[in-house]
Amino acid sequence: MAATSASSSSPSLIDTLFQRSLDDVIRVLRSSSSAALEAAAIARALDEIRREIRSPDLDTKVVALQKLTYLASLHHFDMSWAAFHALELLPSTSLPHPRAAYLAASLSFHPSSTDLLPLATHQLRKHLAPSPSNSPALAAPALHLLALASSPDLARHLAPDLLPILSSQSSSNPLRPKAVATALRTLAVCPDTAPVLFKPLVECLSLSSDPRAVSAAIGAFCELALAAPDPSPYLPLAPEFYRLLVDSRNNWVTIKVLKIFARLAPLEPRVTARIVDPVCQLLRCSPAKSLVFECIRTVFSSLLDHDAAVRLAVDKIKEFLASEADPNLRYLGLQALNMLGPAHSWAVEDSREVVIQSLNDTDTNIRREALRLIMGMLCDSNVVDICNMLIKYAIKSDPEFANEILDAVLSTCGRNVYELIVDFDWYVSLLGEMVRNPHFAKGDEIERQLVDVGLRVRDARPELIRVARNLLIDPALLGNPFLCRVLSAAAWVSGEYVEFSRNPLELVEALLQPRINLLPPFVRAVYVQAVFKILAYSFISFIEQIQAGELLAIGNSLNQRGGKQEGSDLVAAKSSSDQNNAFELEDGVATADKAILFDSIEKQETFKHESISCLLNLIETVVGPLSECGEVEVQERARNVLGLILIIRGTQFWNIEEEHELTRDNKITKIVELMEASFSEELGPVSTNAQKRVSVPEGLILNENLSDLLDILGDDDINPCASVSFSFRNHHSTETNQDSASAIGPNSLLAEHRKRHGLYYLPMDKDKSESNDYPCANEPLLPVSHGEDTEDIVKLPAQSLIPEKAKPTKPRPVVIRLDEGDGVSRSNLSTAKESKDDMLSGAIRDVLLRNEKKPSSTHKTSSDRTSQRRENDASENSELISQQKESNSFGDREHGNSSSRKSRHHHKERIESSGQNRDNEEKSHRHSAKSSRHHRRHKHRQREDAPLDIVPQSPVIQDFLL
């Protein structure tokens, strides 16, 4: 046990005589100027301590222990090695020795590491024993140590020793409150001790007790009730708590009582009815802010049905919010408002201005709470205004809070399949706007929502592709690692919904711009696939255009006066009818859109022979090198694209001058059909439960062991993801350099791109030196200047928080929802119940509620066990207590204490009669008892049985409260 390093030198007389005191050590530590000197001083002190602590002289040992305690608690040295030496000092008769030992032990021991503490059991017991020779100066630290560090075994052994202190009647025993706290810890560590300890704990609550014992006991019950998964065992004590709530002048006690009532209220509706008045009284009159705040919390958590109380509490919150000087009160006020559900949104509405101002507070806590409140206020009529305001505000706020805002907006708007969103065009463009935030780091969520909206909301697709185009075309976004997921979604959207694009060629150009080598491979794979889809679409459109042109020519020849206008109509009609099956389902609006689209394409004359061949060339130049790419996904898709180009080039397409002859080439028709077939099927959202609905085919055994596969695959092949899931940064350093040469090759491409999209590039000279560094997505803005922001925020329309029923300007588009309510958050309401807590509450229930000596027929085995373990007189005592509880119920108290004698008489009688009554009650368990007394007993029994079958509900404890 002793320190091994110090074993060579044993303590000598010199050490003892010239031992440095604790103050010396502290002085040396304080005078050492650098960290290195300090470390050296500590090392030296530790060396000394290791020697000194083994000294046979107790004074030397104590000083060494003190020094060690100092170093351990303030310089974080492990002192578990000295635990034994600390215990050695406990039996010393000189008072300072055991006190120092207790201090050392309570600072260093804790339940998980105290193997040695059982050695001290006897000594602890001796110090706890109430004898005149024993000073409280030792019993107090002994209790303290026991509270901090007792193991279940130790707790069980020493619990009986707490009893004399707990039940001491001397009015000012300073140890009694300490014993209460120790009993609380003992109960927590070892629930078995409940039968012994709980009764005296309950007694501490009684009127006659020392107020300090009451205060400690209420603290203990508060802990117990808050920690218990089911607080119902404490319900019988409600009258005591109520008395304290009304009578106590100690705010700290009242706060604890309120906490207990907040826990009990859901179990028993009449508890709330009883406490409303006292709580309101406290709210009105108490000068202590802590108590007022606790009252507010109690009202908001359990008294929401009482309108007057809620209004009073909200008024108090307004006072809190208005206190300019105290950010604590403002923070707590906002936090309390957050407790109110949507049913009480008027409360937030009342303080709207303060809440919005708080977004601008210097304190992040306050800003965060304000944000939560505002998010809670969102509804479909104000979502546009508020979100626009917030997104603008996010640009100016600091990075952390900016992302919190984005996160809040994304999660609130996306909640329950976008239930708040009416105008999806707006929402999609909002998503695009968010990406432009200089601190943007929410790529994953935006990626998900962009794709999700695309899948679910057909009407949003034209806007979606516009947003995607704007994102893709901006080379400044490419290098930002936070954005690559968004770009991946944008690329997918641009490929999937290319038919809504005004200019597919522009998209291809954006997708193949030189800087895409900055992207991680998995995003580039998406890019290449998007290029594939657009190429296929363009080619098909081109062919169909030619076919339509022939039709037009025929039409023209038939009808001489037919002009261009009609021709394009025909084109539209033709293409919309046969190009894409999906469009047959659409309504007139979409078809009209389509027509416009084709009009515009025709006007821009996109799909000309030259433009298609130009497209093919571009793709070949850029995608070509990718077919050699090391990344499997990129390589494979690049080869697909090149394969398609090869097929197209293999046709007579390039040899024929006359366009109209093209269509007679069967091969081309076949290719077109094939391409159409592969991309015309629309993708939809997939229910999370879809897999479950697929019935397992016959003969397939899913649970079959797949270990055979291991042999076949071998170790080497099983690592498919490694290449794909590249971390962004990594990619940055390695891939970029390697690919910049191979993928783009000539700088001419970059130069050309720069020429065409000069808008997105920095001036030439600057850019040359660092061609692969990306500029910031946005000009970094100056740090938030709070003055001007406030103005911006306050400009938020005054009515915007009010959920007014404005008529939507256009109907909400169809949002595909799957029947099982996918996306609906499944809140996990069930609280984890620890078996220990259950044990504890079960034990307490036994103590408080048992009133039988023999197990009844309805008892299950576990209850049998506990009831048999009880000693008979103890059980009688507890019965007395619990019945005292009954008699001390609210009603009695209101009529004064006159009933106490009567009630005592009552329960005496009851004890006598209980034996006879029991059999009857068992028979008539389900029938109502005739006399109220019978009824009460009956309920009592039911409660005791309750944990074995069902959790007792409100009717069960009726009679305790009335």
Partner 1 sequence: MIHFVLLISRQGKVRLTKWYSTYSQKERTKVIRELSGLILARGPKLSNFIEWRGYKVVYRRYASLYFCMCIDADDNELEILEIIHHFVEILDRYFGSVCELDLIFNFHKAYYILDEILIAGELQESSKKTVARLIAAQDSLVEAAKEQASSVSNMIAQCVAAHCRPLLDNRVEERGCS
In the window 74-93, what residues touch partner 1 (CB under 8 A)? 74-78, 80
Q: Are 135 and 96 in contact (CB under 8 A)?
A: no
Give the one residue of 5, 10, 113, 954 binding partner 1; rule: CB under 8 A. 113
178 binds partner 1 (CB under 8 A): yes
Query: With respect to partner 1, which residue has the nearer C-beta, 183 or 280?
Result: 183
Q: Are 182 and 143 in contact (CB under 8 A)?
A: yes
Cβ-based neighbours of 897, under 8 Å, separated by 6 or more: none
Give the one residue of 3, 26, 28, 441 binding partner 1; rule: CB under 8 A. 26
Give the one residue of 140, 476, 656, 839 binding partner 1; rule: CB under 8 A. 140
Query: With respect to partner 1, which residue has the nearer C-beta, 381 or 397?
Result: 397
786 binds partner 1 (CB under 8 A): no
DSSP class per residue in 43-109: HHHHHHHHHHTT-SSHHHHHHHHHHHHHHHHHH----GGGHHHHHHHTT-SSTHHHHHHHHHHHHH-
Query: With respect to partner 1, which residue has the nearer C-beta, 162 or 619?
Result: 162
Sign of the dihedral through C-alpha 951, 954, 955, 961: positive
Cβ-based neighbours of 390, under 8 Å, separated by 6 or more: 371, 374, 405, 408, 409
| Ranges within 814-853 binding partner 1 (CB under 8 A) | none
Give the one residue of 143, 347, 430, 777 binding partner 1; rule: CB under 8 A. 143
Give the one residue of 287, 588, 720, 783 binding partner 1; rule: CB under 8 A. 287
The secondary element (H helix, E strand) that includes residue 638 is: helix 632-650
Query: To the nearest whole angstrom, how small is the minimum distance from the Cβ of residue 5 to partner 1?
Result: 18
| Number of shown-chain residues binding partner 1 (CB under 8 A) | 75
Using CA atoms, how far apart are residues 528 and 540, in angstroms rounded to an integer?
Answer: 18
Query: With respect to partner 1, which residue has the nearer C-beta, 292 or 484?
Result: 292
Q: How many residues does the chain have?
A: 962
288 binds partner 1 (CB under 8 A): yes
Give the one residue of 289, 392, 853, 904 binding partner 1; rule: CB under 8 A. 289
181 binds partner 1 (CB under 8 A): yes
As a dihedral over the C-alpha atoms of residue 44, residue 48, residue 50, residue 55, rounded to 10 degrees, the angle is 180
Give the one residue of 48, 64, 66, 393 binding partner 1; rule: CB under 8 A. 66
Q: What angle do CA 323, 325, 326 make, to 5 degrees?
A: 75
Query: To the nearest whole angstrom, how small is the minimum distance from the Cβ of residue 623 to partner 1?
Result: 49
| Ranges within 630-659 binding partner 1 (CB under 8 A) | none
Query: To the nearest whole angstrom, how small is the minimum distance from the Cβ of residue 689 to partner 1?
Result: 32
96 binds partner 1 (CB under 8 A): yes
| Ranges within 325-364 binding partner 1 (CB under 8 A) | 327-328, 330-332, 362-363
Give the one residue of 3, 28, 107, 273 binding partner 1; rule: CB under 8 A. 107
294 binds partner 1 (CB under 8 A): yes
Query: With respect to partner 1, which residue has the nearer C-beta, 120 or 224?
Result: 224
Query: With respect to partner 1, which residue has the nearer C-beta, 96 or 624?
Result: 96
Give the one residue of 16, 365, 669, 778 binding partner 1; rule: CB under 8 A. 365
Using CA atoms, how far apart are residues 146 and 125, in angstroms rounded to an integer?
Answer: 11
Query: To the nearest whole angstrom, how small is the minimum distance from the Cβ of residue 472 to partner 1?
Result: 39
Tokens of 650: 């293999």
Q: Are 544 and 574 in contact (CB under 8 A)?
A: yes
226 binds partner 1 (CB under 8 A): yes
**Residue 941 CB neighbours (<10 A):** 21
Cα Rg, the chain, nearest whole Å: 40
| Ranges within 30-49 binding partner 1 (CB under 8 A) | 30
223 binds partner 1 (CB under 8 A): yes
* N-term to C-term CA, the chain: 62
| Ranges within 503-562 binding partner 1 (CB under 8 A) | none
**Residue 571 CB neighbours (<10 A):** 22
22 binds partner 1 (CB under 8 A): yes
Query: To the nearest whole angstrom, how small is the minimum distance from the Cβ of residue 291 to partner 1?
Result: 8
| Ranges within 237-276 binding partner 1 (CB under 8 A) | 249-252, 255, 259
Q: Using N-to-C axis directions, what is the helix angle for 194-204 and 835-849, rounded to 10°?
A: 60
Sign of the dihedral through C-alpha 59, 60, 61, 67: positive
Site string for partner 1, 190-219 (x = CB under 8 A): ----------------------x--xx--x
Instruction: Quickly tell me which residue has 């303080």 as its tokens.
Output: 351
What distances in angstroms separate CA 247 from CA 257, 278, 282, one per listed residue? 11, 10, 12
Burial class (CB in 10 A: 0-12, 13-18, 19+), 853: middle
Query: With respect to partner 1, which residue has the nearer C-beta, 116 or 724?
Result: 116
Instruction: Pick the piece of the chain touching partner 1 (CB under 8 A) from 136-144, 159-167, 346-354, 487-495.
Output: 136-144
Structure letter (DSSP) for residue 93: S
Instruction: Pick the piece of the chain touching partner 1 (CB under 8 A) from 177-185, 639-647, 691-699, 874-882.
Output: 177-185
27 binds partner 1 (CB under 8 A): yes
| Ranges within 721-760 binding partner 1 (CB under 8 A) | none
Query: With respect to partner 1, which residue has the nearer C-beta, 140 or 724?
Result: 140
147 binds partner 1 (CB under 8 A): yes
Using CA atoms, how far apart are residues 711 and 132, in angstroms rounded to an integer?
Answer: 79
The candidate with the shortest Cα–Cα distance to 397, out of 446, 439, 334, 368, is: 439
